[in-house]
Structure 1
Amino acid sequence: MTECRLSFYGPLIAGATLLPSLVACSDAPPVVEPLSDEAMAAVSQNAGAPSDQLARQVDELFTKDELGETRALLVMHGGEIAAERYGDGYDQDTRFVSWSMAKTVTAVMIGMLVSDGRLRLDESVPEPRWSQTGDPRGEITLRQLLQMRSGLRHTEAGDPPYDSSEVQMLFREGRDDMADWATSQPLEAEPGAKFEYSSNTTVILADIAARVLTDSKDPEIRREAVDSFLRTRLFGPLGMDSMVPEYDANGTLIGGSLMHATARDWAKFGEFLRHKGSYRGSQLIPRKWITFMTSPSPRSEFYGAQTWLNRDSGLDREESLQDRGPDTMFAAIGHMGQYILVSPEQKLTVVRLGHSGAEDRKRMLQELLDIVELYPET
């Protein structure tokens, strides 16, 4: 007798719900709804993966329930656009906020200053507040700041949320001079001993860059010095013409959270990282710096230098994702589900921008990795 079994079919079109269906006792394949013209139009002719599968996976990110709102999705394979789609009200000219994807941009800026010989990884950072005799914070190195192991009391997520170091710095008492607030915090651990993800830390890095680039304390001069450096050394060469970084009232780059750019420009940044700091034959930053950014730190297998790694708990530290995608994949990740996934072995960069809550984000990331796994490792 032929065995019949109970199975589940996921939503195939927007608004569908999960309903159990008895599979008929036959060898007939399940019925699959045809893809819409919009879904097929999102995929290029030479996508590097089966076009129908890629189109369906992209479509699900925009139409499937409980994933949040995907506003932009861009897949680059081998340097070419494989798929591109936008939600209602958004298009290729829309600037999307980075949130914490900005941290990875800041790390590149610091790497350029290190390669110029203006900063040193393993020396105490030029922070006047910490330079007083006997201040243990004077032992904090640039490497430790980049790897989120400064030891400073920075609590990224507090309970209640408005008590977190991030909120206090960005929106409350620290908002006008964010670096001053971040550097004023005491140590809670020996420098280098403990990993603690912190937007405060990245603002300190941005302030260090400003101090290196100008001696002026004038906010406008500080802002112009950093802005000019970024546009001359990074945004301009990459053609990231849409990039708009934000600065606080003291002229410090809000390097941990607030940069704005189109999906295509975020993809250019991902491709730049995939090519180890090279763009169209020009090496904009030493390859070894990108290797440093994408290598595990001594206190975290899943984090490098301002960059998430697909190791240990990897990509947001979700244990269910440990075995998905190559170990060499890395990411710039931002609040509410902003992602630049970069997989050198697959010649792949995937950008997802939108708005997803904590639970939606977990499901959305699984869908995003379904796209990644359509591409073979080389």
Structure 2
Amino acid sequence: MRFPTPLIAVLALLPALAACSSEPDAPPPLSPAALAAVKADPGAPTEQLARAIDDLFEKEGLGETRALVVMQGGRIVAERYGEGYGPDTRFVSWSMAKTVTAAMIGLLVADGRLHLDEPPPIPRWRRPGDPRGEITLRHLLQMRSGLRHTESGDPPYESSEVRMLFLDGRDDMAAFAESQPLEAEPGAKFEYSSNTTVILSDIAARVLTRDPAPDARRTAVADYLQDRLFRPLGMTSIVPEFDRAGTLIGGSLMHGTARDWARFGDFLRNKGSYRGTQVVPRRWIEFMVSPSPRRGNYGGQTWLNRDPPEGEDALFAARGPKTMFAMIGHMGQYVLVAPDRRLVVVRLGHSDAAERPPMLQELADVVDLYPGR
């Protein structure tokens, strides 16, 4: 039987038309590792949460996710690790340590040993006529000291951070950071700086002991952190690092498990309270997560998911809740805290500058699965 030419053409198109009208391909089945990552009653759709977490580990172009912990309402509801890592692995904080240092400073303020709007006890700044004597503790906490601190440089070895951590400032980091001149009036300019947080660490040592010996400074600060912060929070894994002068490297180097980083995030979510005990004053945590006068997306050593400068966004302000805040560390360390969702998300790993923006969008997918109140 011969068909008219137009009918033959239509029949030839049927497979293509059928393909166009069919449903999109179903996503591939989740691996056992992906499904095992999610606990019972996670507070979000189980399969969607497992898939969002799986994307962070398996998608190309996001870098390497080594640990992911989701805590909701104070309970771990999802947890997964990359090959070679696990619940007992201590992960380096990088700049997430800044937020821990700020909590320690808050305890010293609560103890009456420091005052937020007064110059801190740094002898070299108290010499007559030194303009750095106008720098207050609040200025340091909000990264607006006015000191000449350049976090990133080109070439990198000329940055203040690299020089302090690894080159001519490494043996006495606080002395290096505190010796820098002003480049702006104190309080007038935001400049993110690991050197500034080391100054905060030095201030803590100065008020906790009068003994300038490195061992005395190291012991005083380590004991204070353990007695007043880590032990009350059950953070048994945290190991802080100190330089040769006994100064806590409070802007960069603390080590802890992903669970302990999540525990710290949940303590912040609860405004300084842990299991009914107010460890750090509530008002201090509120200060840490309130915008500074010079940077809408930064508080007191803590990043905020709101009001980023044009062209810059450390988080995902266009998507996530405005009440969310975060501890952020070099190469993709994140503790995200969303109080309105009773949520903490910890992601630890290694992502370069090009990989971090898409990786953050994957983290936003996880946060989106939890409805706000």
TM-score normalised per structure 2: 0.94
Does 2:219 correspond to 1:210?
Answer: no
What residue is the counterpart of 2:59 in the other structure?
64
Q: Secondary structure at the match of 1:331?
A: strand
2 CA distance for matches of 1:27 and 1:377?
35
Contact 1:58 1:73 survives alignment (8 Å)? yes
Q: Secondary structure at the match of 1:358?
A: coil
1 CA distance for matches of 2:243 and 2:332?
24
What residue is the counterpart of 2:150 in the other structure?
155
Contact 2:315 2:360 survives alignment (8 Å)? no
The structural deviation recorded for 1:48 is: 0.3
Total equivalences in the alignment? 357
Structure 2 unpaired stretches of 5+: 1-15
The structural deviation recorded for 1:317 is: 3.4
What residue is the counterpart of 2:73 in the other structure?
78
What residue is the counterpart of 2:353 in the other structure?
358
Alignment deviations for residues 2-33 of structure 1 (CA, whole Å, 9 cap, x no partner): xxxxxxxxxxxxxxxxxxx9993225243211
Which letter does structure 1 place at the counterpart of 2:208? L
The structural deviation recorded for 1:371 is: 0.2
What residue is the counterpart of 2:191 in the other structure?
196
Which letter does structure 1 place at the counterpart of 2:274? Y
Change (3 A) 1:319 1:334: closer
The structural deviation recorded for 1:251 is: 0.3
What residue is the counterpart of 1:238 in the other structure?
233
Change (3 A) 1:46 1:142: same
2 CA distance for matches of 1:197 and 1:171?
18
Does 2:232 correspond to 1:264?
Answer: no
Based on CA coordinates, which of the two structures has the bigger radius of gyration? 2
What residue is the counterpart of 2:172 in the other structure?
177
> 359, 363, 373: which is aligned to 1:368?
363
* Identity rate, percent: 69
> 306, 309, 318: which is aligned to 1:323?
318
Which letter does structure 2 place at the counterpart of 1:249? R
Quote the RMSD (CA, aligned, Å): 1.5
Which letter does structure 2 place at the counterpart of 1:42? A
2 CA distance for matches of 1:103 and 1:193?
21
Runs of 4+ with >4 A deviation: none
Q: Secondary structure at the match of 1:250?
A: coil
Which letter does structure 2 place at the counterpart of 1:126? P
Contact 2:303 2:314 survives alignment (8 Å)? no
Contact 1:235 1:241 survives alignment (8 Å)? yes
Contact 2:241 2:254 survives alignment (8 Å)? yes
2 CA distance for matches of 1:111 and 1:317?
29
Change (3 A) 1:320 1:203: closer
Change (3 A) 1:99 1:22: farther
Q: Secondary structure at the match of 1:46?
A: coil
What residue is the counterpart of 1:4 in the other structure?
none
Which letter does structure 2 place at the counterpart of 1:371? V
What residue is the counterpart of 1:137 in the other structure?
132
What residue is the counterpart of 2:287 in the other structure?
292
Contact 1:313 1:321 survives alignment (8 Å)? no
Does 2:26 correspond to 1:31?
Answer: yes
Contact 2:163 2:169 survives alignment (8 Å)? yes
2 CA distance for matches of 1:22 and 1:142?
69
Contact 2:66 2:82 survives alignment (8 Å)? yes
2 CA distance for matches of 1:335 and 1:191?
26
Q: Secondary structure at the match of 2:230?
A: helix
Contact 2:305 2:315 survives alignment (8 Å)? no
TM-score normalised per structure 1: 0.93
Q: Secondary structure at the match of 2:20?
A: coil
Change (3 A) 1:24 1:121: same
Structure 1 unpaired stretches of 5+: 1-20
2 CA distance for matches of 1:362 and 1:320?
8
1 CA distance for matches of 2:296 and 2:172?
33
> 285, 309, 319: which is aligned to 2:304?
309
1 CA distance for matches of 2:32 and 2:161?
43
What residue is the counterpart of 1:10 in the other structure?
none
2 CA distance for matches of 1:23 and 1:36?
30
2 CA distance for matches of 1:319 and 1:99?
15
Change (3 A) 1:304 1:319: closer
What residue is the counterpart of 2:88 in the other structure?
93
Q: Secondary structure at the match of 1:25?
A: helix
State how 1:48-63 maps to structure 2 within 5 Å: 48-63=43-58
1 CA distance for matches of 2:315 and 2:216?
47
